[in-house]
A and B are shown apart, each in its own frame.
Chain A
Amino acid sequence: MGNTSSMLTQYDIEEVQQHCNKAFSQQEIVSLYERFCQLDRNGGGFVSAEEFLSVPEFAVNPLSQRLLRMVDGLNFKEFVAFLSAFSPRATLLQRIEFIFKVYDSDGNGKVTFNDMLDVLHDLTGQFISENQRKQVLTQVLDEAGYTKESLLVLSDFVKILGSSGLKMEVEVPVD
């Protein structure tokens, strides 16, 4: 698939659909491609961090930097795969996996106390002190049966988050 082409062929669409495990319909993939090209202003075949940050709604999100690390420089196929966790067709496990990946910034499959502290910092900014954050996190971990030294893996996340449904859907506008 040519990165600089402005037209998707049927073959391209099917390839992307396979890659994201059919999370999106073919129409949605075409819409996502239009959006991708719109964001990719310099036509390099990938959307850079700058180009993502030029969307004000994205730039004001507290987790934008974390997400940028995951989405910066992806080509279209990987971009769709990234978004597949937000498709209405995604499974609960896929969504939990995505959340896990956001926490697990070094990608070693284990989420540490500091990883969770970092995300909490992103979410609360300067409005809670570092000590208070540590306090809060230790307290809730304790109540859930973990300690400060615990390393959480994906199955832990499934246990913690899987009990009630996660609302994590995004609608792809299709004209």
Chain B
Amino acid sequence: MSSSEAKLKPSSSELDLDRPNIEDYLPSGASIHEPHGKLRLRDLLDISPILTEAAGAIVDDSFTRCFKSNPPEPWNWNVYLFPLWCSGVVFRYLILFPVRALVLTIGWIIFLSFFIPVHFLLKGNDSLRKKWERVLVELICSFFVASWTGVVKYHGPRPSMRPKQVFVANHTSMIDFIILEQMTAFAVIMQKHPGWVGLLQSTILESVGCIWFNRSEAKDREIVAKKLREHSQGADNNPLLIFPEGTCVNNQYSVMFKKGAFELGCTVCPVAIKYNKIFVDAFWNSRKQSFTVHLLQLMTSWAVVCDVWYLEPQNLRPGETAIEFAERVRDIISVRAGLKKVPWDGYLKYSRPSPKHRERKQQSFAESVLRRLEEK
């Protein structure tokens, strides 16, 4: 028996050392005590900690919680309040909604009657055309916000247009972009959508300068990183707005920030957005509704009330990695907007977790088994 020679086979997957440790975030209901003492049959057969972790995940898990819609509590449950609620519904659908639709239509007419001429006639004079288009995009966004009776309170100094700075914000719905855009014409990086949204993206948003990505393309990431770098270095490009979570989260949690925005060598200006749930749940659950339905839902609610905080610009600290920088900024935004942090990558909505996490657990168990085998 060569147990004294028992050596651990090296891990073939490189452990990403600067990823935050998931174990720090997971509930430590399963005993994380360091087992010691001679290895017995009982220790091998007792899989209760691992089973408990699995059952705990089945019953409740922090990832699914991030994408749970939280509609406001129903309050219309008695004879007195129900008719009040009914008349509210009638008012919202039959009076507010048509008025809002009208406002939006007027807004589009004004926008298009200026945008189209400006876009084509000023083709020669680029800087003037860009200035006009910027103003017009801010205008149509304001009309959109008015069409949901958006009450937005902006806190903090308005972003100044400087080169080599990017803006990052937490992401709840595509309306985040509209709400921020009505104040400042940002250039944004977005997933290309189908349908009328895609049409708007390719025509109007092109004018403020947008970068497209495709989540399903793996190689896409390098191309996009290059485009980001180019854009942020350009002096007269619109400031770039990035949503590092990469997906819409329900405004109560924040998922991990992708490091792309944090390794551009630019100042990062965090922006925190918090919606007031009492009026409407602004979370766009893209698995459950299309953007059109989401917009209609907003247009038939009383109001969209939110706070936007422009926070202090941050720079990469000496000795800090991009991932640490991203986590630090996520912390700043989450604290300001009252979001709970979870250690999951938003893209896990679309794909499985990497085997690295499971391997880490396996490695730690294997090490403990072999160590205890040696003990007398």
Chain B residues with a Cβ under 8 A of chain A: 1, 3, 6, 8-9, 11-12, 26, 29-31, 39-64, 68, 287, 344, 348, 352-353, 357-359, 361-363, 365-367, 369-370, 373
Per-position 1/0 for A59-71, Cβ under 8 A of B:
1111110010001
**Sorted from nearest, which 10 A-B pairs have the closest CB atoms?**
A125-B362, A57-B57, A127-B366, A124-B366, A144-B41, A58-B57, A60-B357, A168-B48, A61-B54, A140-B41
For the complex, is A1 an interface residue (Cβ under 8 Å from B)? Answer: no
Please name 18 further chain A to chain B contacts, defined as beta carbons within 8 Å, in addition to the given A57-B53, A83-B58, A139-B373, sorted by A numbering: A35-B58, A35-B59, A35-B60, A55-B58, A57-B62, A58-B57, A58-B58, A60-B358, A61-B53, A98-B51, A99-B45, A99-B47, A127-B362, A132-B6, A135-B1, A141-B41, A161-B46, A170-B29
For the complex, is A123 an interface residue (Cβ under 8 Å from B)? Answer: yes
Instruction: Check if B61 sits within 8 Å of A170, measured CB to CB.
Output: no
Residue of A63, A95, A125, A129 with highest tally of chain B CB at under 10 A: A125
Instruction: Check if A170 sits within 8 Å of B44, measured CB to CB.
Output: no
Docked CA distance A140–B369 (Å)? 11
The smallest C-beta distance from B72 to any residue of chain A, in angstroms, reads: 15
The smallest C-beta distance from A11 to any residue of chain B, in angstroms, reads: 23
For B48, the chain A residues whose CB sits under 8 A away are 95, 99, 166-168
Q: Which residue of A lies closest to B358 (CB)?
A: A60
| A124 touching B369 in the complex, CB below 8 Å, given contacts A61-B54, A144-B40, A160-B45 | yes
The smallest C-beta distance from B2 to any residue of chain A, in angstroms, reads: 8
Instruction: Check if A56 sits within 8 Å of B58, measured CB to CB.
Output: no
Can you list 7 A-B contacts (CB < 8 A)? Answer: A56-B352, A67-B51, A124-B365, A127-B8, A127-B366, A170-B56, A173-B60
Q: Is the interface of B mostly helix, strand, loop or mixed?
A: helix
Complex partner residue of B50 from A55, A71, A123, A141, CB under 8 angstroms: A123
The smallest C-beta distance from A9 to any residue of chain B, in angstroms, reads: 19
For the complex, is A108 an interface residue (Cβ under 8 Å from B)? Answer: no
Instruction: Check if B44 sits within 8 Å of A56, measured CB to CB.
Output: no
For A166, the chain B residues whose CB sits under 8 A away are 46, 48
Docked CA distance A59–B348 (Å)? 11
Docked CA distance A138–B131 (Å)? 78
Docked CA distance A134–B367 (Å)? 16
Q: Which residue of A lies closest to B354 (CB)?
A: A60
| A62 touching B50 in the complex, CB below 8 Å, given contacts A124-B365, A157-B45, A163-B42 | yes
For the complex, is A171 an interface residue (Cβ under 8 Å from B)? Answer: yes
Per-position 1/0 for A90-134, Cβ under 8 A of B:
000001001100110000000000001001100111111100100
| A55 touching B64 in the complex, CB below 8 Å, given contacts A60-B361, A127-B366, A168-B48 | yes
| A63 touching B47 in the complex, CB below 8 Å, given contacts A55-B61, A160-B41 | yes
Instruction: Check if B9 sits within 8 Å of A38, measured CB to CB.
Output: no
For the complex, is A143 an interface residue (Cβ under 8 Å from B)? Answer: yes
Complex partner residue of B367 from A62, A127, A146, A171, CB under 8 angstroms: A127
Complex partner residue of A128 from B9, B12, B62, B344, CB under 8 angstroms: B9
Instruction: Check if A123 sits within 8 Å of B47, measured CB to CB.
Output: yes
For the complex, is A172 an interface residue (Cβ under 8 Å from B)? Answer: yes
The smallest C-beta distance from B349 to any residue of chain A, in angstroms, reads: 8
For B42, the chain A residues whose CB sits under 8 A away are 144, 160-161, 163
Instruction: Check if A139 sits within 8 Å of B1, measured CB to CB.
Output: yes
The smallest C-beta distance from B45 to any residue of chain A, in angstroms, reads: 6
Instruction: Check if B358 sits within 8 Å of A61, measured CB to CB.
Output: yes
For B50, the chain A residues whose CB sits under 8 A away are 61-63, 123
The smallest C-beta distance from A101 to any residue of chain B, in angstroms, reads: 11
Instruction: Check if B9 sits within 8 Å of A57, measured CB to CB.
Output: no
For the complex, is A76 an interface residue (Cβ under 8 Å from B)? Answer: no
Complex partner residue of A172 from B6, B59, B363, CB under 8 angstroms: B59
| A170 touching B52 in the complex, CB below 8 Å, given contacts A57-B62, A144-B40 | yes
For A137, the chain B residues whose CB sits under 8 A away are 44
Docked CA distance A60–B3 (Å)? 30
Docked CA distance A57–B60 (Å)? 10
| A136 touching B373 in the complex, CB below 8 Å, given contacts A161-B42, A167-B49 | yes
